């Protein structure tokens, strides 16, 4: 049984866990929040898949979920199936309250073009918040090198969206570290990476990037938007 952590306790744990390996952080997390913990995996970026592989060796009972917005690439959906077969798990799809048709009827067609923040709220933020209501903590694939909005990510912190404890065991890893792990452990990855997609979300809001661009430059290109809202501070 886990017990709530106060903010000053989170600060102490953040200092303690900062220097530990991702596996050590996951072992601590799985023990501390046993039965009240979930792993978020987008099946887009490689970081969540590294965490999934690590956690499968530490505590395979931790549920894995993904946000099925209704706008995922076929390659992303195919990867979900591959991962399920490889690890013998059933990733849980977390879906919005509104179908795409219902959203269009209520808010107008192609909301992601007119108000991407509202679309992300309806199709990602609110569904995840409702899903995580049954948990005390969740694991995310955030890294400090992913962009300016993530430079301050801590290994353990309070999640502003849900109020839960959020763990980012790979916060200090680089993109190179992630791909090295994937190669060494033969971890499945999204086929779109080979086509220039470095960060993969919904079809209308994801484009490939050119050499030298930021990892998330292909997300919501031209809008000034950098995050979907799941990790707002």
**pLDDT at residue 221 above 90?**
no
Query: What confidence category does residue 2 fall into, taking pLDDT thresholds of 50, 70 and 90?
Result: low
R_g of the chain, CA atoms, integer Å = 17
Whichever domain contains 157, its CATH number is 3.40.50.620
Q: Which domain holds residue 41?
A: 7-192
Total domains, the chain: 1
Query: What confidence category does residue 19 fall into, taking pLDDT thresholds of 50, 70 and 90?
Result: confident
Catalytically active residues, by annotation: 228
In whole angstroms, give the CA distance from residue 10 to residue 3: 12
Is residue 20 one of the residues assigned to a domain? yes
Per-residue b or e along 39-59, where b marks 16 or more CB atoms closer than 10 Å to that residue's CB: bbbbbbbbbbbbbbbbbbeee
For the entire predicted model, the pTM comes to: 0.92
Q: Is the dihedral of CA 94, 135, 51, 174 positive or negative?
A: positive
3-7, 65-69, 94-98: least confidently modelled range = 3-7
Q: What is the pLDDT of residue 142?
A: 93
What DSSP string describes 121-143?
Answer: IIIIIHHHHHHGGG-SEEE----
Query: What confidence category does residue 5 fall into, taking pLDDT thresholds of 50, 70 and 90?
Result: confident
Query: What confidence category does residue 1 fall into, taking pLDDT thresholds of 50, 70 and 90?
Result: very low
In whole angstroms, give the CA distance from residue 82 to residue 202: 19
Percent of the chain residues topping a pLDDT of 90: 77
Is residue 140 one of the residues assigned to a domain? yes
Contact by Cβ (8 Å): 111, 104: yes
The pLDDT tens digits for 78-100 are 999 999 999 999 999 999 999 99
Beta bridge partners, 64, equal 39
Is residue 149 one of the residues assigned to a domain? yes
Which of 186, 131, 139 is closest to 159 using CA atoms? 139
Helix and strand numbers (H, E) in the chain are 9, 6
Is residue 37 one of the residues assigned to a domain? yes
Is residue 127 one of the residues assigned to a domain? yes
31-40, 129-138, 143-152: least confidently modelled range = 143-152
Is residue 180 one of the residues assigned to a domain? yes
Is residue 43 one of the residues assigned to a domain? yes
175-185 and 46-58 are packed helices; what angle lies between their axes, rounded to 10 degrees? 50
- Of 219 and 155, the structure prediction assigns the larger pLDDT to 155
């Amino acid at each position: 049984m886990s017990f709530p952590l106060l903010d000053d306790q989170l600060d102490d744990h953040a200092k303690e866990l900062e220097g530990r390996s991702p596996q050590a952080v996951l072992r601590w997390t799985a023990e501390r929040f046993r039965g009240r913990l979930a792993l978020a995996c987008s099946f887009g970026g490689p970081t969540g898949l590294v965490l999934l592989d690590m956690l499968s060796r530490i505590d395979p009972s931790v549920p894995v979920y993904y946000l099925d917005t209704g706008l995922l690439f076929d390659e992303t959906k195919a990867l979900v199936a591959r991962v399920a077969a490889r690890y013998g798990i059933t990733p849980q799809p977390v879906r919005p309250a509104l179908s795409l048709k219902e959203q269009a009827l209520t808010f107008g067609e192609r909301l992601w073009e007119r108000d991407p923040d509202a679309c992300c709220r309806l199709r990602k933020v609110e569904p995840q918040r409702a899903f995580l209501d049954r948990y005390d903590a969740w694991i995310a694939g955030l890294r400090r090198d992913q962009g300016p909005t993530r430079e301050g990510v801590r290994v353990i912190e309070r999640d502003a969206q849900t109020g839960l404890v959020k763990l980012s065991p790979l916060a200090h890893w680089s993109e190179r570290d992630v791909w090295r792990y994937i190669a060494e452990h033969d971890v499945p990855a999204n086929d779109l990476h080979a086509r220039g997609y470095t960060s993969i979300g919904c079809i209308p809001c994801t484009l490939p990037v050119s050499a030298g661009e930021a990892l998330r430059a292909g997300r919501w290109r031209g809008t000034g938007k950098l995050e979907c809202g799941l990790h707002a501070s």
